[in-house]
Amino acid sequence: MGAGVSRIEIPGQVQAVLRRLNAAGYTGYAVGGCVRDSLRGQTPADWDICTDAEPERTAEVFSDCRTVLTGARYGTVTVIFEGTPYEITTFRAEHGYTDSRHPDGVSFLRSLGGDLARRDFTVNAMAAYADGRVIDRFGGLEDLRWGLIRCVGDPAQRFTEDALRMLRALRFAARFGFAVAPETEEAIHALCGRLQAVAPERLRKELSGLFCGEAVRSVAERFSDVLCVLIPELSACIGFRQWNYHHKYDVWEHTLRAVEAAPPTEVLRLAMLLHDVGKPAAFTMDKQLVGHFYGHAVIGAAMTETILRRLRYDRRTTELVTLLVREHGFYLMEDTPKRMRKLLSQFGEENVRLLLQVRRADGIATGTAEGAAEKTAMAEQLLESVSAQCVSLPQMELNGNDLIRLGVPQGPQIGAILRALLDAVLDGSVKNERGALEHAAREMIDKSEYSL
Ligand code: ATP
Ligand code: MG
């Protein structure tokens, strides 16, 4: 970046695609996210290409490749070039979004300028030639340098055209740790009610992206009004004082800290966002002026299910997040092997791992619990050792025949020794490994606990 020409590195294969278009008399540029990510020093997930060739012409240029007219109506052809799919889209303008869902129509353009102008944010509205020179018509380089999400053109107009862009602004801000430019922010606060009209399928992807962003907490704090349009149930949490010495923060601040403390996966971040959503409804205060939230996890789980269904999350995600919210208060008071085995049999290993992460994030976010991270690390170790242990005789690495081979006569002793070994394995004093089990068996025999 800086004065002069900015360049990015374009992979040879992408260059070959662009040069093929050029050789056929068309223009071709890398555009959008791939240019932005390259300038940020990150490897783009995919390279989108735009061209003045109309879809059928693009298909001709790549007639030796497999091509799919994915969205020919919108100008997009997917070309499988040397095994990699590329979306090649004709320069286009979009007209009106009367339903806030889809453009009413698109028209193809002859030049790049109009195509860049229809794009949402300056940092997303840059293109690059095959040789890597960057084309920046709207100050994207500057905004990238200062870390700003700014609309291309008039924010109010752009958000009125397509309300989803408001949520996209927050998603990019959270992902890159960028601020939203002042006029863009102002328009979001003014117009966010319009997000209600956007199809949940479009909202969901941006919403999950937002919550998985590194800077989610500051963005969600500043734009809680936007989140409350999408999930009105959250509004009762904002500023809800807990009256409890275990908690340093109000419900909303605790919630956002918990989101931030969880690993950035969709399921865990949604679970933390919603884990205490039932608290305002469950609040009681005792005579000592201490607040309680009995049953909030169960209330919250029911709310979570409603919320995620309304946003059209898939069934698996909805069920899993609901489970995590319902069970988030599980307390492994003492993380004993016995308790861990019980959890494993109740929820299964994968879900116990998730619950431990939930408990960890929840603990960190109280602002008062010491050692939540260390406790989780220890519980995870315990989980490893317990799950590595067998839970029943058939899974034990030593069986009756092995004992006979060790010299134990057939008879009731066999069963007695096996059960004693299993107990030792379950309480963690002996590993479920052949060598260790044989050693333990010999000791039992030698001590003539099981006289031969
Ligand atoms: P990501 O890495 O998250 O995919 P991206 O920039 O590629 O980032 P996409 O959602 O894949 O984001 O969109 C590709 C490009 O299309 C964007 O960079 C932007 O230029 C444009 N774009 C996408 N959605 C919109 C929209 N709703 N309004 C205007 N332009 C959009
Ligand atoms: Mg993309």
By mean pLDDT, which of 186-190, 375-379, 399-403 is the weakest?
Answer: 375-379
Q: At 400, is the pLDDT very low, low, confident or very high (cuts 50, 70, 90)?
A: very high
Q: Answer yes or no: do 142 and 27 share one domain.
A: yes
Residue with tokens 């290409």: 49
Cα 267 to Cα 354: distance, rounded to the nearest angstrom: 9
Residue 161 Cβ inside 6 Å of ligand 1? The answer reads no
pLDDT at 392 over 90: no
pLDDT at 182 over 60: yes
Residue to mutate (ligand 1; options 119, 121, 164, 165; most atoms within 8 A of CB): 119
The torsion defined by the Cα of 403, 409, 412 and 413, in degrees rounded to 10, comes to -50
Containing H/E element for 271? Answer: helix 266-274
Neighbours of 45 (CB within 10 A): 8
Residue to mutate (ligand 1; options 106, 121, 122, 124; most atoms within 8 A of CB): 124
Question: What pLDDT was estimated at residue 271?
Answer: 98
Q: Answer yes or no: do 215 and 304 share one domain.
A: no
* Ligand 1 geometric centre to CA of 33 (Å): 7
Q: Is 412 inside any structural domain?
A: yes
Q: At 72, is the pLDDT very low, low, confident or very high (cuts 50, 70, 90)?
A: confident
pLDDT at 427 over 90: no
120-171 pLDDT per residue, tens: 999 999 999 999 999 999 999 999 999 999 999 999 999 999 999 999 999 9
Q: Answer yes or no: do 326 and 356 share one domain.
A: yes
Asked if 202 contacts 163 with a C-beta cutoff of 8 angstroms, the reply is: no
Q: Answer yes or no: do 140 and 25 share one domain.
A: yes
Q: What is the average pLDDT across 430-451?
A: 83
> From the DSSP assignment, how many helices (H) and strands (E) are in the chain?
22, 13
| Eight-class DSSP state of 439 | H
Beta bridge partners of 78: 68, 87
Q: Answer yes or no: do 128 and 74 share one domain.
A: yes
Question: What pLDDT was estimated at residue 138?
Answer: 98
Residue with tokens 């012409």: 57
pLDDT at 295 over 90: yes
Question: What pLDDT was estimated at residue 85?
Answer: 96
Q: Answer yes or no: do 157 and 123 share one domain.
A: no
* Ligand 1 geometric centre to CA of 26 (Å): 23
Cα 420 to Cα 393: distance, rounded to the nearest angstrom: 11
Q: Is 3 inside any structural domain?
A: no
Q: For the chain, what is the mean pLDDT?
A: 92
Residue 103 Cβ inside 6 Å of ligand 1? The answer reads no
Residue 343 Cβ inside 6 Å of ligand 1? The answer reads no
Q: Is 253 inside any structural domain?
A: no
Q: Answer yes or no: do 271 and 342 share one domain.
A: yes
Cα Rg of the chain (Å, integer): 29
Q: Which residue among 127, 146, 165 closes a domain?
A: 146
Q: Answer yes or no: do 142 and 152 share one domain.
A: no
Q: Is 178 inside any structural domain?
A: yes
Q: Answer yes or no: do 64 and 166 share one domain.
A: no
Residue 119 Cβ inside 6 Å of ligand 1? The answer reads yes
* Ligand 2 geometric centre to CA of 65 (Å): 22
Q: Is 4 inside any structural domain?
A: no
Q: How many domains does the chain have?
A: 4
* Ligand 2 geometric centre to CA of 297 (Å): 37
Containing H/E element for 76? Answer: strand 76-81
The amino acid sitting at 83 is G
Top pLDDT among 291 and 334 is at: 291
Q: Answer yes or no: do 347 and 305 share one domain.
A: yes
Q: Answer yes or no: do 347 and 319 share one domain.
A: yes
Question: What pLDDT was estimated at residue 247?
Answer: 82
Q: Answer yes or no: do 338 and 400 share one domain.
A: no
Atom of ligand 1 nearest to the CA of 168: 27
Cα 273 to Cα 295: distance, rounded to the nearest angstrom: 18
- Residue 74, domain CATH: 3.30.460.10
266-286 pLDDT per residue, tens: 999 999 999 999 999 988 999
Q: Is 401 inside any structural domain?
A: yes
Cα 128 to Cα 8: distance, rounded to the nearest angstrom: 8
* Ligand 1 geometric centre to CA of 171 (Å): 11
**With pLDDT > 90 as the criterion, what percentage of the chain qualifies?**
71
Residue to mutate (ligand 1; options 50, 120, 121; most atoms within 8 A of CB): 120
Where are the alpha helices (H) located in 279-314, listed in sequence order?
A: 279-282, 296-310
Question: What pLDDT was estimated at residue 277?
Answer: 97
Give residue 268's domain range. Answer: 260-386
Pairs from 423-426 (Cβ < 8 Å, separation ≥ 24): 425/389, 425/390, 425/396, 426/337, 426/341, 426/389, 426/391
3-state secondary structure of 347: helix
Instruction: Please give the structure tokens belonging to residue 48.
Output: 């989108």
Q: Is 76 inside any structural domain?
A: yes
pLDDT at 450 over 60: no
Q: Is 422 inside any structural domain?
A: yes
